[in-house]
Amino acid sequence: MVKICSRCKQNIEKCKCEVPVYTAFYRDGLMKELTEDYKYQSIRGLDKILAEMLDIALPKDFGEAVIVPLPTAPKHIRERGFDHTLRLAKALAKRREAFSFCQVLYRNKNTVQVGANAKTRKKQAKEAYLVKSGAIDANRTYLLIDDVWTTGASMESAIDLMKKAGAKYLAAAVILTAKK
């Protein structure tokens, strides 16, 4: 377990980011295989194991938070037969009493990031999501969830949208991040 911030690549305890991105593992080895099996082979039972890994990466004293999954492209949901990020977020929310779950974000565009270069990913991500009207309570803490941080484009876009919608307290968590 690496316990780093995917934004600044610092140990999470040294991170000074306004919105830290808690990360459990680098994108290699067994955790990469497990995450890919879950996502691409539709092995649904892995959601609980991966949620446990995310839970371990988060501080024990994190406090109350609304778990918000980054929405999966409808094309991928149809191909895989389930929404992997939604299941992961729900499994994480069940692990701690202080966590609740809400789908605050939804897809605006159905672009696919897999295989796209960094410039294309950033452009696509800016238009990919919308915040549900009236869904943000400025006094709540929101924890955005995704499986993998590649360029950070999706998460950065979601963070910006949540801020613009009035969220004051934000953090994020991913299972895997690219190596330094």
User: What local confidence, expressed as pLDDT, does residue 108 receive?
Assistant: 86
| Per-residue pLDDT reduced to its tens digit, 133-155 | 999 999 999 999 999 998 899 99
Q: What pLDDT shows up at residue 179?
A: 80
Would you call 8 exposed, middle or buried from its count of C-beta atoms within 10 A (0-12, 13-18, 19+)? middle
Q: Residue 83 pLDDT more than 70?
A: yes
* Residue 123 pLDDT > 80: no
Beta pairing partners, 143: 67, 171
Summarize the confidence of residues 144-169 as an average pLDDT.
95
pLDDT higher than 60, residue 162: yes
Confidence of residue 19 (pLDDT cuts 50, 70, 90): very high
- Do residues 164 and 136 touch, judged by C-beta distance below 8 A? no
Indicate the pLDDT class of residue 128, thresholds 50, 70 and 90: confident
Contacts of 83 (CB under 8 A, 6+ apart): 69, 71, 72, 77
pLDDT bracket for residue 109 (50, 70, 90): low
Q: What percent of the chain has pLDDT over 90?
A: 83
For residues 125 and 31, the model is more confident at: 31
Mean pLDDT of the chain, nearest integer: 92
Q: Examine the pLDDT at 90 and tell me if it is beyond 90.
A: yes
Is the CB of residue 175 less than 8 Å from the CB of residue 149? Answer: no
More confidently predicted of 111 and 162 = 162
Residue 158: predicted pLDDT: 96
For each of the domains in the chain, give its residue range(s) and CATH number, in order of start: 4-177 (3.40.50)
pLDDT of residue 134: 94
